């Protein structure tokens, strides 16, 4: 992408005259609370700063406009915002970029599931999965993402194909993108010997156990089996729960109850949780109490849920499926935002851009007035979940993994796509263009 500023090819330089959201400064410098003419009242909670970068690290922060060393090489950030790099904690890279060869004709969840199953059976060999996942990673990296957790469809032989591809990509992208894998299967699969082998495979890969939960008479037994397999192997869990607008869907609460029942101390993440949005207030509150008590983290996928939920032929959607973002957060439950699917039957659009995810989530979920600490939902919180303790922070001594935007305020940031952002990784501009869709043309064979 063509950025609005250029960095010097120098071992040490200053990016001056920028604005940093105060929530990213940790520890918060004393001077960050001082008023500054470079941050007018409309730019509340922004700190006018100069940043010194030496080698791969941030070495100094100071108030904007203060004297610099006489030998300093400077880049004027033009009062643009500086963010730490993004963390995308819920994706499906193995499904991505199949839309042209396998579109979803009616846009519904059930049709998407059928379409993906057909596409996987026909096309998903190692080369196909590798090239499409690589395309997605290129997009993420160019947009400023530093870490990604991806779910991998893991039925039968597909598990071996996709995990081998994942391991190769993890090596390919080492030092640029931190990657985690989660196996994805229905819970009944874990009742079989193949499901136990899948758990062993994830332990070998260093991944997480995942699954899609649907209410059924055996749901508690299935969840218990999942927790037992994970506990025996020391694996964290990342689950798809309550991805529907049926108020009777309550797998999130059952996961929390099972976590307590098994004394499971490792991290458990639950995504979607759409049915909370259509349940009675007291029912949802009881589920949130269980989630809070057992320390479960929640990932919301507003773009994909907006696309799929309440889709009826020739009918305007009334319910959009986004979970109770504010209510969960008010309970002190970690709430994160992620991109989910991209250009596949579950979501026809997207570009692996976490700024788009944050922008659309803010609009959909009213995560403004004020924005408060919602930017942490795409930076620090998912980074901590992926054991990246310094993600989402800007401070001396930390790696200079930053994004410089031309936007000078949150309003400007969310009003335009910011396609001219400057991504800095390990102290240097990456100068990486977005991949051309034509790279995938030979994979998108027309269906016979």
* CA 144 from centroid of its chain's CA atoms: 12
Q: How far apart are CA 32 and CA 323, in angstroms?
A: 34
Q: Residue 256: CA atoms inside 13 Å, Cβ hemisphere, count?
A: 20
Strand partners, 21: 46
Closest CA to 151 of 248, 249, 243: 243
Q: How far apart are CA 364 and CA 117, in angstroms?
A: 30
The residue from 180, 243, 249, 384 that is catalytic is 243
What is the layout of strands, in order, in the sheet containing 74-76?
57-63, 46-54, 12-21, 74-76
Query: Is residue 413 helix, strand or coil?
Result: helix
Query: β-strand 57-63 against 46-54: which pairing, if any?
Result: antiparallel
* CA 363 from centroid of its chain's CA atoms: 17
Q: How far apart are CA 186 and CA 200, in angstroms?
A: 17
Closest CA to 278 of 316, 233, 324: 324
286, containing H or E segment: helix 281-294
Strand partners, 442: none
Beta strands in 252-355 (DSSP E): 268-272, 297-300, 335-337
What angle in degrees, to the nearest 10, is found between the helix axes of 193-205 and 219-233? Answer: 40
272 by Cβ neighbours in 10 Å (0-12 / 13-18 / 19+) ranks as: buried
- Residue 4 contacts by C-beta under 8 Å, 6 or more apart in sequence? 78, 80, 406, 420, 422
- DSSP states along 138-187: HHHHHHTEEEEEEEEE-STHHHHHHHHHHHHHHHHTTTT-EEEEEEE-BG
Q: Is 44 a catalytic residue?
A: no
Q: How far apart are CA 25 and CA 62, in angstroms?
A: 12
- The set of catalytic residues is 243
């Amino acid at each position: 992408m063509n950025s609005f500023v250029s960095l010097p090819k120098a071992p040490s330089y200053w990016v001056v005259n920028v604005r940093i959201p105060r929530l990213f400064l940790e520890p918060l410098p004393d001077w960050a609370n001082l008023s500054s003419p470079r941050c007018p009242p409309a730019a509340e909670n922004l700190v006018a700063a100069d940043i010194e970068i030496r080698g791969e690290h941030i070495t100094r922060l100071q108030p904007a406009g203060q004297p610099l060393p006489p030998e300093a090489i400077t880049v004027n950030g033009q009062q643009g915002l500086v963010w730490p790099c993004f963390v995308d904690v819920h994706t499906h890279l193995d499904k991505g970029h199949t839309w042209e060869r396998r579109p979803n004709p009616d846009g519904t969840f059930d049709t998407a599931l059928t379409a993906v199953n057909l596409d996987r059976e026909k096309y998903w060999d190692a080369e196909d999965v590798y090239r499409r996942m690589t395309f997605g990673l290129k997009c993420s990296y160019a947009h400023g993402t530093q870490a990604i957790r991806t779910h991998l469809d893991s039925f039968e032989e597909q598990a071996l194909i996709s995990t081998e591809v994942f391991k190769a990509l993890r090596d390919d992208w080492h030092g640029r993108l931190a990657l985690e894998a989660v196996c994805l299967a229905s819970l009944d699969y874990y009742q079989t010997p193949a499901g136990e082998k899948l758990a062993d495979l994830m332990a070998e890969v260093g991944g997480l156990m995942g699954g899609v939960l649907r209410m059924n008479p055996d749901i508690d037994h299935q969840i218990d089996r999942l927790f037992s397999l994970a506990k025996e192997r020391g694996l964290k869990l990342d689950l798809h729960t309550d991805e529907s607008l049926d108020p009777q869907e309550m797998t999130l609460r059952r996961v929390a109850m099972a976590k307590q029942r098994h004394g499971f101390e490792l991290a458990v993440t639950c995504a979607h949780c759409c049915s909370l949005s259509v349940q009675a207030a007291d029912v949802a509150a009881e589920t949130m109490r269980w989630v809070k008590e057992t320390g479960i983290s929640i990932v919301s996928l507003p773009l994909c849920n907006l696309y799929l939920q309440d889709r009826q032929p020739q009918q305007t959607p009334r319910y959009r499926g986004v979970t109770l973002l504010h209510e969960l957060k008010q309970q002190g439950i970690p709430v994160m935002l992620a991109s989910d699917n991209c250009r596949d039957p579950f979501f026809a659009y997207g570009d692996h851009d976490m700024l788009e995810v944050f922008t659309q989530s803010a609009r959909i979920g009213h995560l403004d007035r004020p924005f408060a600490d919602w930017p942490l939902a795409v930076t620090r919180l998912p980074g901590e979940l992926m054991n990246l303790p310094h993600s989402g922070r800007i401070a001396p001594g930390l790696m200079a993994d930053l994004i410089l935007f031309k936007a000078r305020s949150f309003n400007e940031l969310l009003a335009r796509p910011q396609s001219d952002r400057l991504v800095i990784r390990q102290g240097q501009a990456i100068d990486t263009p977005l991949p051309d869709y034509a790279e995938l043309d030979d994979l998108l064979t027309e269906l016979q």
